[in-house]
Amino acid sequence: MSPATINPLRLTRNALLAACVCGAAATSSASAQADVQAEASGLLLGKLSGKTAMDRAWSAATLYKDNSNPILEEFNLTGRAQFDYFKVDADKGQNDFFEIRRLRMGVDTFWANRLIEVKATLDTTLHSYNTPEVFYNRMTDLFINLHFSDALNLRMGKFEPHFGYDREFSDNTQVFFERSFFDDQVFNNTGNDYVTGASLSGKLGKWGYQAAVFSDNVGQEFGHFNGGESFLGEISYDFAADLHADKALWALDFMHMNNNANSNVFNTMENAAATYFDFHIGQCGLVTQLGYGDGIDSKGGIYELMIMPTYLITKQLELVTRYQLGLAAKDNGITTLNRQEKTVGKFTGDTDNAVYVGLNYYVYGPKLKLMAGEQYDKLTGGTGVKAGYQGWTTLVGLRMFF
């Protein structure tokens, strides 16, 4: 067969089916093989899962799944699409823009009785504000995870550091448009929020832990390992059973950064700490967080208070409110790094008050939702021509992932 006639989709399908067949052959009896065949599902086998049409449509992203296969348990396609319109009306300027906020695609696979997870995700920038339009922007997730037990997981490669409430979960499921100002200060809002490193994590009863080390130089893939390193530690405790709640998670995170001239992430602070409590019971939710960052050079120390009540009005409609207070030890310690606000400029101050009110409509749970919100931000206390900011930001968006 000539190269011109090779069908990549057929090759992928045949490779996956070969893994499935090998796994089935490894079972110990004919009856076990029958069970395997009965339980196997996935698009390549023509067996979609789910009770509703939406369930079955989303299950098409699972090409193959069979927990009885000792070689390949699951092979998934992954994707996320996020579309936003924003309008900034501030004392420093006005701007509005429609953007493809995120468009990503990849694979997530599980091998060897789910001991091994291999995940890779490609990130595009097809229509973002003041950004070149490219199909291949970078790899976000690009890691191997070894799941020895619930108490011990080893992850190596490129992934998102878990620091603070805003990084407790993927942006796929966050209930607000933008992460907090404190998260912006720690990550310096460089877009380098997926970092090369290694982590150990797990749960021991109600306690959880994580210990990680990251390279502070990030590139399209793994980056160069010449930008210093950062160290992250976390402990958490699950109070849900004690408080008879649906969720009641307390966590404490600490990061120490060793920067140099080649650092392009975590390069504005020496140390950062955050503690949060994520509480949900019935239709009500409340998240609180306290944060501190030890800024380098002229930045100084930064303090954060965040309070976020939520209420599920119906099964599909959710009200989200959030208040953020930021205090800096130095006049210009806080910079407006919010994605929308910075389109009219970056401004500085020492006191930041921000209020967000939004509605989320869940078409298909968090996997397909519509969002609308309004944020008011007032930054005061700075010095110089870039001091201060006051304005409103209107946001409308669609979020989808599989």
CA distance linking residue 321 with residue 375, whole number of Å: 10
pLDDT at residue 169, as a whole number = 85
Lowest mean pLDDT across 22-26, 102-106, 392-396: 22-26
8 has pLDDT over 70:
no
Q: Scan for tokens 């409308």, then name that residue.
A: 396
CA distance linking residue 320 with residue 355, whole number of Å: 11
- Determine the straight-line distance between the first and last CA of the chain, rounded to whole angstroms: 35
Domain boundary, last residue among 45, 70, 95? 70
pLDDT at residue 2, as a whole number = 41
Same structural domain, 228 and 349: yes
**Residue 25: pLDDT band with limits 50, 70, 90:** very low
Domain boundary, last residue among 70, 103, 131? 70
159 has pLDDT over 70:
yes
Residue 99, Ramachandran bin (φ over 0: left; ψ between -120 and 50: alpha; else beta): beta
**Residue 189: pLDDT band with limits 50, 70, 90:** low
Residue-range definition of the domain harbouring residue 48: 1-70
**Residue 186: pLDDT band with limits 50, 70, 90:** confident
Helices (H), 105-215: 181-187
Q: State how far the alpha carbon of 233 is from the alpha carbons of 171, 272, 273, in Å.
A: 21, 11, 10
* Domains held by the chain: number: 2
Q: For the beta carbon of residue 236, count every other beta carbon within 10 angstroms.
A: 21
At 389, give phi and psi (nearest 5°).
-160, 140
Please write down the HEC assignment for all residues of 185-206. Answer: HHHCCCCCCCEEEEEEEEEECC
Same structural domain, 87 and 61: no
Domain boundary, last residue among 70, 96, 127? 70
pLDDT digits (tens, 9 = 90+) for 39-66: 799 999 999 999 999 999 999 999 999 9
**Residue 31: pLDDT band with limits 50, 70, 90:** very low
User: Domain of 255: which CATH number?
Assistant: 2.40.160.10
pLDDT (mean) for 374-391: 95
pLDDT at residue 191, as a whole number = 63
pLDDT at residue 62, as a whole number = 98
Same structural domain, 77 and 213: yes
pLDDT at residue 35, as a whole number = 47
* Closest to 338 (Cα-Cα) out of 326, 320, 330: 326
pLDDT (mean) for 164-190: 87
Same structural domain, 378 and 255: yes
CA distance linking residue 232 with residue 163, whole number of Å: 8
Lowest mean pLDDT across 29-33, 66-70, 88-92: 29-33
Same structural domain, 39 and 111: no
Same structural domain, 7 and 138: no
3 has pLDDT over 70:
no
What contacts 130, CB < 8 A, 6 or more positions away? 343
pLDDT digits (tens, 9 = 90+) for 307-346: 999 999 999 999 999 999 999 999 999 988 889 999 999 9
Same structural domain, 186 and 145: yes
Same structural domain, 93 and 195: yes
**Residue 7: pLDDT band with limits 50, 70, 90:** very low
What contacts 9, CB < 8 A, 6 or more positions away? none
CA distance linking residue 198 with residue 319, whole number of Å: 37
Same structural domain, 59 and 148: no
* Closest to 341 (Cα-Cα) out of 193, 187, 194, 184: 184
pLDDT at residue 5, as a whole number = 42
DSSP helix, strand, coil percent of the chain (3-state; round to 5)? 15, 55, 30
pTM comes to 0.87
Same structural domain, 23 and 78: no
CA distance linking residue 362 with residue 367, whole number of Å: 8
Same structural domain, 57 and 173: no
pLDDT more than 70, % of the chain: 89
13 has pLDDT over 80:
no
State the number of CA atoms in the 13 A half-sphere of 247 facing the CB.
14
Q: State how far the alpha carbon of 300 is from the alpha carbons of 254, 292, 389, in Å.
A: 17, 11, 20
CA distance linking residue 221 with residue 134, whole number of Å: 15
Q: Which amino acid is at 232?
A: L
Bridge partner residues of 212 (DSSP): 199, 232
The DSSP 8-state label assigned to residue 6 in this structure reads -
